[in-house]
Amino acid sequence: MKRLTSILTAAGLVALAACANENTAAPPAAPATTTAATDTPAVPATPAAPATPAVAATPATPATPAVPATPATPAVSSLSVTPNGDVTVGKAPPDFTTKASNGQAVHLTELKGKPVVVYFYPKDETPGCTKEACSFRDSFDKLSKKGVVLIGVSADTDESHRAFADHQKLPFLLVSDPNGELAKAYGVPFKDGYSGRQTFVIGADGNVKKIYRKVDVTVHAQEVGKDVGA
């Protein structure tokens, strides 16, 4: 009987323990929280900008027609010539008034009473003309003692004459005859802006004493010196 009681007691204890275990069991796990997918909708792509239409090429500006060249204006000169027909020995030569390149006024008839030598030459600073001018320069002292007025004439400008006189140390007058007016009045050839090489020796009486239609520049100054007694 005691054994049965022990068995029952043990069985009751087991049942109580089981019951206690039931009452202290961990609470059931909370159901898992499920988060619904919340994908952000994709941003639509920005449409491509339309291509800029090509700019049409600017048509080329037509070339400006060339302006025709202005005809050369004849050189202005202070020269005034009074023709006197053909120039011959024993006769008064054509009168003229002008300003020499150094600014000195020249009037041929007012030089009466003095021997005057008017020599025409082609161009300043050329070999033959330079030799002739320098020969007159070297003889100038003798010519001056006889009162001779020496006048060189060419188509060169006054500026060119001044440069020529300064460079070669020429002590006499140089006159510009740009259009050949004076040369033609004395019967001196004038072509393409150049006068021929000729010389006129005018006596103190105002008449032509000697004419050189051909000139040798190597001896010309000496020839003229003899003509005026220098």
- The pLDDT tens digits for 105-119 are 999 999 999 999 999
Reported as a single tens digit per residue, the pLDDT across 168-191 is: 999 999 999 999 999 999 999 999
pTM recorded for the entire structure:
0.68
Q: Is 28 domain-assigned? A: no
- Smallest CA-to-CA distance from 177 within 196, 203, 204 is with 196
d(CA 190, CA 155): 9
Does 129 qualify as catalytic in the annotation? yes
Point out the catalytic residue in the list 79, 129, 174, 185: 129
Structural domain of residue 202, as residue ranges? 93-227
Query: What is the rounded average pLDDT for all residues in the chain?
Result: 81
Q: Report how far apart the first and last C-alpha atoms of the chain are (Å, whole number).
A: 198
Q: Is 22 domain-assigned? A: no
d(CA 133, CA 15): 162
Q: What's the structural domain count of the chain?
A: 1
Q: Is 85 domain-assigned? A: no
Provide the CATH number for the domain around residue 175.
3.40.30.10
Q: Mark out the alpha helices in the chain (DSSP H runs).
A: 2-23, 127-145, 158-168, 181-185, 220-227
d(CA 175, CA 156): 8
